Homo-oligomer: A and B are copies of this chain.
Amino acid sequence: MEEPHCKFETVLEILVGKWKPIVLFHLFSNGTMRFSELQKAIPDITKKMLTQQLRELEYHDIVHRKIYHQIPPKVEYSITEHGKGMSTVLQAMNDWGMSHLTHLNELYGEERSVESFEGRLDEVTGN
């Protein structure tokens, strides 16, 4: 076999967390967003989770946090230059992910959406 597939865990570590993908999606799509704009765009997220996910992305230098020292506060989030470098990886994951969805539909049936795969997995694993 070719090169060992190993350190993709690093990417996983960045992306791990229930809300990271959708947060990243919005920031990649919209460029720069305020905390409250992200909250609006992701209605079910709590402030705590949004803060947490953003802080973790910030630690990995994927997201930049710009604070305006005003009252009421204003904080803007955006993808860093380093973070933009992730887009090819995300795109590759996205593309393969799409084709995988098609494949799963062929295997298990068309009527199932992404969300319902979870439930079907539970049927199989008995959890």
Q: Which residues of B contact A76 (CB under 8 A)?
A: none
Interface check A74, CB cutoff 8 A: no
Q: Are the CB atoms of A5 and B91 closer together than 8 Å?
A: yes
Q: How many angstroms from the CA of A85 to the CA of B70 in the assembled complex?
A: 51
Interface residues of A in 14-32 (CB under 8 A from B): 14-16, 21, 24-25, 28-29, 31
Q: Are the CB atoms of A91 and B124 closer together than 8 Å?
A: no
Most buried by B among A8, A21, A93: A8
Which A residues lie at the B interface, using CB under 8 A?
1-16, 21, 24-25, 28-29, 31, 52, 55-56, 58-61, 82, 85-94, 96-101, 103-104, 107, 114, 117-118, 120-121, 124-125, 127
Given contacts A60-B104, A61-B104, 14 further A-B contacts (CB under 8 A): A1-B29, A1-B31, A4-B28, A7-B94, A7-B124, A8-B90, A8-B93, A10-B100, A10-B114, A52-B127, A59-B120, A59-B121, A61-B103, A88-B92
8 residue pairs, one from A and one from B, having the closest CB atoms: A10-B97, A8-B93, A5-B90, A11-B93, A7-B97, A92-B92, A89-B96, A8-B94
